Amino acid sequence: MTDETTDQTVDEETESETPETSEPAADAEPAAREDRGPATSGGRRPRRRRKAEDQYLPEGDERAALALKFVTDVVREMEMDCRVRLKRPREGDGEAEINIEISGRDSGRVIGKKGQVLGALQFLTHRVINRPDLDRRHVLVDAEGYRSRRDNSLATMARRLGKQAVEEGKIITFEPMNPRDRRVVHLALAKFEGVITKSEGEGDERRVQIIPVRR
C-alpha cells in the first residue's frame, strides 16, 4: 500500500446495490405462494395438510426441536399466516447450525423493515437454545429466502467495491455491520486479487475495511 492510499466510507443503506433492495415490503405478500383454496366463512383460508416427508425432524436433537417450537409459538402468537419448518443441514455441517425457514402469506411482515423483525426473532431464538452451560450452536432464521438474497447482494457489492479500491488506490470502509454481514464481505473478497479485508472497531461500531495492496 502506498502513501497515496486514502480512506472512503461506504454506507450500505445508500449504495445503489444495497442488500435491502430485494426485501419484500413489510406488509406485502411474497411473490409466490401456494394456492390455499377458497376462504372460509371467517375470512381465513384453510391450511393445506403437508406430506410427512416434507417435514424434517431430527431424532435426538432437542435443541433443534426447542428452536423450532419457540419460533413456531412466536409466529402463532403474532397471528401470522406462516409455516415454520426446520431445514436439513448441509452435508458436513452435522448439528452445528440450526436452520429454520418461515414461509407463507405473512412472511413479509415477519421479515420487517430491513429484516429487523427477522433479526430480532433470530436473536431471541439464539438466546433460548444457547444456555451458559451448553456448547454454542448457531441459529439461522430465514423467511422466503430473504437472508440468502441479502447475502448475495452484499457479496456482489463487496466485489464491486473491491474493484474500486484497486482502481482508485483507496481504503473503503463500510458502515458498522453485524457479525454475519461482516463474514459475508470477508468471504466474498477472500480470493479477490489486489485487496485484503479487516474488521476494526468494537461492539456495534465494528466495521469492515477493504484495503488495496501491491502484489
What is the per-residue pLDDT for 88?
Answer: 78
Helix (H, G, I), strand (E, B) or coil at 105: coil
Looking at residue 138, its pLDDT comes to 85
Residue 53 DSSP class:
G
3-state helix, strand, coil in the chain (%, to 5): 40, 20, 45
Residue whose entry in the numeric block shows the C-alpha cell 456482489: 156
Residue 1 lies in a domain: no
Looking at the structure, tell me whether residues 97 and 170 fall in a common domain.
no
pLDDT for residue 39: 40
Q: Which of 180, 168, 163, 172 is nearest to 198 (CA)?
A: 172
Same domain? For 48 and 15 the reply is no
- Provide the total of helices (H) and of strands (E) in the chain, helices listed first: 5, 7
* Residue 187 near residue 53, CB atoms below 8 Å: no
pLDDT at 109: 92
Q: What is the pLDDT of residue 121?
A: 94
SS3 call for 205? helix
One domain for residues 56 and 73: yes
Specify the pLDDT at position 96. Answer: 67
Q: Are residues 60 and 14 in the same domain?
A: no
Residues 32 and 87 in one domain: yes
- In this structure, the answer to whether residues 207 and 120 fall within a common structural domain is no
Does one domain contain both 75 and 125?
yes
139 and 184, same domain (yes or no): no
Among 143, 158, 187, identify where a domain stops: 143
Supply the CATH number for residue 38's domain.
3.30.300.20
Write out the chain's pLDDT in tens, 215 residues: 444 555 667 765 434 333 333 333 333 333 333 334 334 344 544 444 444 445 666 677 889 999 999 999 999 999 999 999 998 766 555 556 888 999 999 999 999 988 889 989 999 999 999 988 888 888 889 999 998 898 999 999 999 999 999 999 999 999 998 888 899 999 999 999 999 999 999 888 999 999 999 76
- The range of the structural domain enclosing residue 159 comes to 6-19+149-212
